[in-house]
Amino acid sequence: MTETNSVDRMHPNAPGVNQSDRLVPINLRQSGPTPVQMLISTRVRKSPFWHLSIEAGAWRATVYNRMYHPRGYVRPEDGGAMVEYDALINRVTLWDVAVERQVRVKGPDAEAFVNYVITRDATRIAPMHGKYCILCNDKGGILNDPVLLRLSDDEFWFSISDSDLMLWLQGVNVGKGWNVEIDEIDVSPLQIQGPLSEELMADLVGEEIRGIPYYGMLEAEIGGASVVISQTGFSGEKGYEVYVRDATLQAEAVWYAIRGAGSRHGLRVIAPAHHRRIAAGILSWGQDLDAETSPFQVNLSYQVPRKKEADYVGKATLEAQRDRIEAGDYPFALKMVGLKLGGKPITDYAPDFWLVQDDAGKRVGYVTSPWWSPELGFNIALAHVPYALSELGTPLRVELPEAYCEVSGQPVAAEVCDVPFRASENPSARERAMAKGRDSSD
């Protein structure tokens, strides 16, 4: 047996894809779906809404932040995730997102501490407002990209993505000794997303909701329970997040109140809409980025401000990275791009990081988040490719599973395109900056 055949038999981790700047390469072995039953155990937490999600028809789940996370309500034979997509973009939807665990930083030094651990300027966040932010390690790797909510002068909530941020924050403060308490609290969020979300929220909490701005917040009651509402979401559509206080006790009261009022607006309980967030260019931690990813690789340069004078974790490294990029020396092996690609419609989650080839057929990168866009009429994806292949219009190829191939065994044509693929209801700072033709990292 030749050496090549031996390597093929061992199913190599696509060694042609340059991941030399990572300590732990992304696993690019293409294994397909894993046909096993997920064990439901006490080692993994259930959200306060878990039983309600099951009651609403959740038939599959994943694990996120060491909690079970519903990822499907409409079964494939009934139209699957694309039926849920239709409800999101045309009506209004309810999501169980308690996996966005709430880490509270509270105390006299809360602002100073938060300002040290995020790259953006925490002093510019007014009480009862929030911001999307990132936290980096000293190497510039993104540890988490939460929504940060400021409840008051001395209280912040990190609504975290999929990593143990509380442990990091507590560890940072061991050496710094700021006068703050850092704890996870019994607050669990729900998302209400879709074009009719404002009408539903007005039914639930009154006309005041119409006046809160994007990333604005409101204290209210739903079903007799105390909640905090923010105009935020993971969809690119108009939407809100409802943070239920004392969620272990109040989950049912809030859930049923929302479903009851929502029936007048065609509310559907769905899984988080990754098909829509991809179109909006919204990233998913652990899928599109992780602790070995720099913000400059994934279109988050606006999260690294030029005018923030205060020190923060990773500042020196990130500023050095930006200086190299502006000098024409891109310091990373790969860069995130948007792709439009051929193939049959991708209408469900990808179980693998599908491989990207250059125009000559060499494997050079991988897709992180693909889906079909009904509005655009083609598949779209976020992908990591070499910087030299990141220019708009660059032709590439993607190795899709057999079910999505146009010709059996053949990669489909792809092309680097702009992100977002579809405009958001509330454009991000990056979207606004691109529209103005400038870098928004001031």
Task: Dig out the tokens for 387 from the structure.
Answer: 């910087």
Angle between helices 165-176 and 110-117 (to 10 degrees): 110
Q: Whole-angstrom Cα distance, residue 219 to residue 246?
A: 14
CB burial of residue 375 (10 Å; 0-12, 13-18, 19+): exposed
∠419-421-427 over CA atoms, to 5°? 75
Give the number of other CB atoms < 10 A from CB of residue 128: 16
DSSP 3-state percent helix, strand, coil across the chain (nearest 5): 25, 25, 45
Output the 3-class SS for 240-287.
Answer: EEEEEECHHHHHHHHHHHHHHHHHHHCCEECCCCHHHHHHHCCCCECC
Longest dimension (CA), the chain: 74
First-residue to last-residue Cα distance in the chain: 58
Q: Whole-angstrom Cα distance, residue 350 to residue 339?
A: 15
What DSSP element (H or E) covers 104? Answer: strand 102-106
CB-CB contact of 32 with 352 (8 Å): yes
Token pair 């529209």 is at which residue? Answer: 435
Q: Whole-angstrom Cα distance, residue 78 to residue 13?
A: 36
Q: Whole-angstrom Cα distance, residue 274 to residue 282?
A: 9
Could you tell me the CA-to-CA distances from 342 to 271, 359, 391, 392, 410 in Å, in that order?
26, 14, 19, 17, 11
Helix or strand or coil: residue 224?
A: coil
Half-sphere exposure of 228 (CA within 13 A, CB side): 25
Q: Is 241 marked as a binding-site residue?
A: yes
Task: Dig out the tokens for 73 from the structure.
Answer: 């309500």
Q: Whole-angstrom Cα distance, residue 338 to residue 367?
A: 9
Q: Binding site for substrate: which residues?
A: 241
Q: Binding site: which residues?
A: 241
